[in-house]
Amino acid sequence: MAKNFSAWPEEWPRRLNYPDMPIHGFLYQTAARVPNRIALIFGGMELTFSELNELAERFAAALDDMDVAKGDRVAIHLPNMPQFAVAYYGILRIGAVFTPLSPLLSPREVQHQLADSGAETLISLDLLYPGIQGVLAETAVKRSITTSIADCYNAVIAPLKPLEKMAVPDTLDMAVLLKQYTPLEKEISIDVGKDLAHLAYTGGTTGVSKGVMLTHANVVANVIQYGNWATGAQTEMDDGVLKAVYPPGVDPATDRLVVRDQSTALVVVPWFHAMGTVGYLNNPVYGGATMVVFPRFDPQEYLDAIGKYRPTALGGAPQLYIPLINHPDFASTDLSCVRIAASGAAPLPGAVMDTLLEAFSEGLVQEGYGLTECSMGATANPPFREALRPGSVGLPITDTEMKVIDASTGEDLPPGSEGEICIKGPQVMQGYWNRSEATAEVLKDGWLLTGDIGREDEDGYFHITDRKKDLILYKGYNVYPRELEEVIFQHAAVQQCAVVGKPDPDTGEKPVVFVQLKEGAEATADEILEHTNSQIAHYKKVREVIFMDAIPVSGAGKVLKKELRKQFR
């Protein structure tokens, strides 16, 4: 079925040029183009693009001297902070593979991802490392590098900051390495179409944590797709310089919402998440945008930053916007500076969309859709107010095809029909790390089977009508019931259990477990919660326990979660 271009933005290219360039080329290009432009602001600290590039080159030299080689996996276990960006581009510079570790993971989950990836180098925070140190012996990690948020503060401002640097024995200090090494001089050959750049873990449709293999070309394509979707520019490489080319007569300063090397973005989406790495690190670097970076989300701090930095771009899951619009200072904050507010990871309620559009008088709210298996994203609403289609996730972006199939037969379905959404494009993953069978289940004839249910309308906009089976979206984070159920089943009193998402206006959904106890066994809700939540990441925690005499099952013995969800209506 041919792609529907009936609602395609006028003057937007239908195909893009993608440079034969590794991911860190984005930083190199921008540092060469606007070396003195501020790249990153963090707690008052500022780094220009040339400084960020030099620090990444210094870190690359340190890794190279430690014999970290091309293809080796290097894990980053940090919140958003300057050292994350430095480490990320330094890892890629030497041809190593970036594998993110969420600081929210439990030690058990960290151990699994480190062991599965085979990472021999770990970069962690002084506050986080002691919590995972005990599991490292059961992984391939040979060396640990630690850093501190306190390293970002100079001696004068340090008394005003609440954090002090912690000593972390038996680890290398990242700040010392950056001072000790000069920028890497040697070149490392990278085959962008074959060499892996990212190994990011996702639960997929089964809840079993799997490594998604992305090449440099995959990620570069997705960055350019979204960067150029906002501007309508074509990309050209001219004598080694990456250029943005507009149609004749277009002045981006007046005719586009996003202007290269002139934008400022508030960045709170975690860089360890696919949406963060592609959309809120590489994309701003590609476009020369100044990033005002936060390690966590605080509505008051965020609103204060809007007044202070006058950002042109915001972004995150709906759980960023919901507490924002409910904050008492929201109505009195001048938000007219915001040109684009992106939303993804979960559906944005219509009432929230309306409130934001009214507040962003000069801008728009742009919903999109994607998953780690396609680098980050596959769709977005066009960057014009009149083209927004509330309730939809927009159009398939440039060079991206999408279709809807019958989930049981695989047959292509016509517009208006609901079925499984499939994606094809240069951003689609190579497969799952060391899991050929799981790869074969979702990659078929070049198409990625997402497991998400949706439909395409007559104009080519896509609508997500259901999500991956049983998936719970808590504050924009994926929570996989199967993983929780496996932990709960280990409780000696549990006969049967089922975890489902309970609708919640503040978080989207919260994990609730229905429990059937063994005959004669006793357990309280608090005991079940303690047993479960002590073994999992904070955002995955079960929030409520409901006891039942019997969990409803089908004739085949399958738990009927639809019946359980009805209790919440």
Q: Which long-range contacts (CB under 8 A, 24 or more apart) does 324-333 make?
A: 324/299, 325/352, 325/355, 325/356, 325/359, 327/299, 327/300, 327/303, 329/300, 329/303, 330/303, 330/359, 333/303, 333/306, 333/307
Domain ranges of the chain: 47-189, 402-466, 472-568
Q: What six digits make up the tokens of 544?
A: 């409520």
Return the pLDDT at 467: 62
CATH number assigned to the domain covering 472-568? 3.30.300.30
Mean pLDDT value across residues 290-315 = 95
Query: Is pTM beyond 0.85 here?
Result: yes
Helix (H), strand (E) at residue 33: helix 25-33
Residues 6+ apart with CB under 8 A from 359: 325, 330, 335, 338
Mean pLDDT value across residues 51-58 = 98
Q: What six digits make up the tokens of 275?
A: 């949406």
Task: Give per-residue pLDDT as tens, 533-546.
Answer: 999 999 999 999 99
Whole-number percent of the chain with pLDDT over 70: 97
Task: Give per-residue pLDDT as tens, 236-261.
Answer: 999 999 999 999 999 999 999 999 99
Domains 402-466 and 472-568 share a fold: no
- Rounded (10°) CA dihedral 484, 485, 491, 494: 150
Return the pLDDT at 318: 80
- Residue 365 and residue 385: Cα distance in Å, rounded? 8
Return the pLDDT at 469: 66
- Residue 224 and residue 221: Cα distance in Å, rounded? 5
pLDDT confidence of 205, banded at 50, 70, 90? very low
Stronger pLDDT, 366 or 476, i.e. the higher one: 366
Unique residue bearing structure tokens 């939809």:
392
CATH number assigned to the domain covering 402-466? 2.30.38.10
Return the pLDDT at 556: 42
Q: What Cα–Cα distance (Å) separates residue 346 from each residue in 26, 215, 464? A: 29, 26, 10
Q: Which residue in 390, 350, 345 sits closest to 371, CA to CA?
A: 345
For strands 472-474 and 97-100, give the pairing.
unpaired
- Cβ atoms of 225 and 397 within 8 Å: the answer is yes
Q: What share of the chain is helix, strand, coil (3-state, %, to 5)?
A: 30, 25, 45
Return the pLDDT at 468: 58
Measured on CA atoms in the order 129, 131, 133, 135, is the torsion positive or negative? negative
Q: What rounded mean pLDDT belongs to the chain?
A: 92
Mean pLDDT value across residues 151-172 = 88
Residues 6+ apart with CB under 8 A from 369: 344, 377, 378, 379, 393, 394, 462, 464
Task: Give per-residue pLDDT as tens, 472-525.
Answer: 889 888 787 878 887 898 898 988 888 999 999 888 899 999 998 988 899 999
Task: Give per-residue pLDDT as tens, 108-152.
Answer: 999 999 999 999 999 999 999 999 999 999 999 999 999 999 999
CATH 3.40.50.970: does it fit domain 47-189?
no
